[in-house]
Amino acid sequence: MTTTFLHDLLARRRAGHSLEAPFYRDEAVFQADLAHVFGRHWIFVAVEPQLPQPGDFVTVDIGRSSVLLVRDDDGRVRAFHNVCRHRGTRLCAAQQGALGNIVCPYHQWTYDLGGALIHADHMPAGFDREAHGLRPVHVQLLAGLVFVCLADEPPEDMQRMVSEMTPYLAPHRLAECKVAAQVDIVEQGNWKLTMENNRECYHCVANHPELTVSLYEYGFGYRPGPQNAEGIQRFKDIMAASHARWEGMGLPSREIDVLDERVTGFRTQRLPLDRAGQSQTLDAAVACRKLLGSFTDPALGGLSFWTQPNSWHHFMSDHVVSFAVLPIAPERTLVRTTWCVHRDAIEGVDYDVARLTAVWNATNDQDRRLVEASQAGVADPAYEPGPYSPYTEELVEKFTRWYVQRMRALAA
Q: How far is CA 67 from CA 76, 92, 135, 148, 278, in A?
A: 16, 10, 10, 9, 36
Stretch that binds a copy of itself, among 81-89, 165-173, 234-242, 304-312 (CB under 8 A): 81-89
Nearer to a copy of itself, 203 or 401 (CB): 203
Stretch that binds a copy of itself, among 170-178, 180-188, 344-352, 377-385 (CB under 8 A): 377-385
- Which of 75, 226, 250, 386 binds a copy of itself (CB under 8 A)? It is 386
391 is an interface residue for a copy of itself by CB under 8 A: yes
In three-state secondary structure terms, 241 is helix
196 is an interface residue for a copy of itself by CB under 8 A: yes
- Which of 29, 30, 50, 82 binds a copy of itself (CB under 8 A)? It is 82
Stretch that binds a copy of itself, among 118-126, 165-173, 284-292, 332-340 (CB under 8 A): 118-126
Q: How far is the CB of 123 from a copy of itself (least distance, A)?
A: 6
- How far apart, in whole angstroms, are the C-alpha atoms of residue 79 and residue 8? 36
- How far apart, in whole angstroms, are the C-alpha atoms of residue 325 and residue 332? 11
First to last CA, the chain: 12
Q: Where are the beta strands (DSSP E) in 116-247?
A: 117-119, 138-142, 145-149, 177-187
Q: How far is the CB of 394 from a copy of itself (least distance, A)?
A: 11
- Which of 7, 22, 54, 66 binds a copy of itself (CB under 8 A)? It is 66
Size, binding site for a copy of itself by CB under 8 A: 61
- To the nearest 10 degrees (0 to 180), the angle between helices 191-198 and 353-378 is 120
Torsion of CA 148, 339, 297, 168, to 10 degrees: 10
**Binding residues among 27-56 for a copy of itself as defined by CB under 8 A:** 39
Nearer to a copy of itself, 129 or 178 (CB): 129
151 is an interface residue for a copy of itself by CB under 8 A: no
- How far apart, in whole angstroms, are the C-alpha atoms of residue 281 and residue 288? 10
- Which of 76, 119, 223, 234 binds a copy of itself (CB under 8 A)? It is 223
Torsion of CA 116, 119, 124, 125, to 10 degrees: 70
- How far apart, in whole angstroms, are the C-alpha atoms of residue 350 and residue 363? 24
- How far apart, in whole angstroms, are the C-alpha atoms of residue 317 and residue 324? 21
Contact track, a copy of itself, 336-375, x by CB under 8 A: ---------------------------------xx--xx-
Stretch that binds a copy of itself, among 78-86, 156-164, 244-252, 266-274 (CB under 8 A): 78-86
383 is an interface residue for a copy of itself by CB under 8 A: yes
- Which of 99, 116, 123, 410 binds a copy of itself (CB under 8 A)? It is 123
93 is an interface residue for a copy of itself by CB under 8 A: yes
Stretch that binds a copy of itself, among 124-132, 232-240, 276-284, 322-330 (CB under 8 A): 124-132
Residue 72 — φ and ψ, nearest 5°?
Answer: -80, 180
Residue partners of 317: CB distance under 8 A and separation at least 6: 278, 279, 286, 291, 292, 295, 297, 298, 299, 300
- How far apart, in whole angstroms, are the C-alpha atoms of residue 236 and residue 247? 16
5 is an interface residue for a copy of itself by CB under 8 A: no
276 is an interface residue for a copy of itself by CB under 8 A: no
Residue 134 — φ and ψ, nearest 5°?
Answer: -65, 145
- Which of 65, 95, 212, 405 binds a copy of itself (CB under 8 A)? It is 65
- To the nearest 10 degrees (0 to 180), the angle between helices 394-410 and 191-198 is 140
Torsion of CA 38, 41, 46, 47, to 10 degrees: -160
Rule CB under 8 A: which residues touch a copy of itself?
Answer: 18, 21, 39, 63-66, 81-91, 93, 105-108, 121-124, 127, 132, 135, 150, 196, 202-203, 206-207, 221-223, 369-370, 373-374, 376-393
